[in-house]
Amino acid sequence: MKRGRSPIPKHDPFEKPLLSVDLFFTLYKNNASQVRKLEEKLEPLGLTLGRLCLLYALQRAGKPALPSELGDDLAVTRANISGLLNALEKAGLVRRELDLSDRRRVFVHMTPQGEKLLELAWPVYEETIEGNFGSLSVEEQMQLLHLLRKLEQGK
């Protein structure tokens, strides 16, 4: 008589997910929650997180930028950049200008109104982010930042 193998217990990924899956899902939910809180604070200023980030990217560049450069900096698609630019331009916060030496290129400039709004919104952004990480000590925040950067470099 042949001895049968005892069945190997099956891993139930929904009852006990892999640690890495649990970590990713927890980061995802945490990020979504933090973005929601931040956008609630930015709404009275007429901004979304994406619009604020685009203004910040322009400020950080210190000069007019190509939409493709902004998209690369923010890691978003050209379609997303186009939508963000349309909304910001309609609000008078940025303007687009053709490159006179190459009319296929368009440079994005922040307007004085955009600069003022960024200065007004930035403390709201910092205060909200600071509050979101308030349950972590400075050392824990530094450790988390180190680990996330390590993950990013491991691509």
**Predicted pLDDT at 137:** 95
d(CA 124, CA 128): 6
Query: Could you give phi then psi for residue 102, rounded to 5 degrees?
Result: -150, 95
**Predicted pLDDT at 4:** 59
pTM of the model: 0.81
**Average pLDDT of each block of 10 consecutive residues along the chain (155 residues)?**
60 83 93 94 95 96 94 92 96 94 92 98 94 93 94 80
**Predicted pLDDT at 34:** 92
Domain segments of the chain: what residues? 37-121
Tell me the HSE value of 50 on the side-chain side, using a 13 A CA sphere: 14
d(CA 8, CA 12): 12
* DSSP class of 109: E
**Predicted pLDDT at 49:** 95
Topology of the domain comprising 37-121 = Arc Repressor Mutant, subunit A (1.10.10)
**Predicted pLDDT at 2:** 55
